[in-house]
Amino acid sequence: MVDVLTEITIRSPIKNVAEYAANPDHAPEWYANIKSVKWQTPTPLTIGSKIAYKAQFLGRELAYVYEVVDYIAEQKLIMKTADGPFPMETTYTWESNENNGTRMTLRNRGNPTGFSKWFTPFMGLMMKKANNKDLKKIKEILESSG
């Protein structure tokens, strides 16, 4: 099993961070590997929403659909995908800190299947590196926008 947890503190109010991060339309702006997003259910985001993503990871193009399984605005978002070679659960959490900033966590958990399972240890390291880079990017975007 791959279980990668990363976190960052962003100098921006929780409302700004959570609204931006929880909006799938912003994903290609701050996730280096996500190339496109397409809603399969009507907006806004709610439990049961389905969003199709196209991504590039480790030189491979991936297409998958996430379903929102838990969402509490400004607290947490949990999305799961059951399709593809790497069923995955992604969790975002947000917590205010004393300086009107936000601590954001990003967690990816999943069980690679088939050929992918041979790369599990390597995949975890690569995901952690990618997630840290993505969190730095969202921090840069949100802190520069005021």
Q: What is the CATH number of the domain that holds 60?
A: 3.30.530.20
Count CA atoms within 13 Å of residue 71 on its CB side. Answer: 18
pTM, whole model, 2 decimals? 0.92
Is 119 a residue whose pLDDT tops 70? no
Number of domains forming the structure of the chain: 1
Helices (H), 23-88: 27-30
Q: How confident is the model at residue 122 (pLDDT cuts 50, 70, 90)?
A: confident
Range of the domain at 87: 2-144
Q: Is 95's pLDDT higher than 80?
A: yes
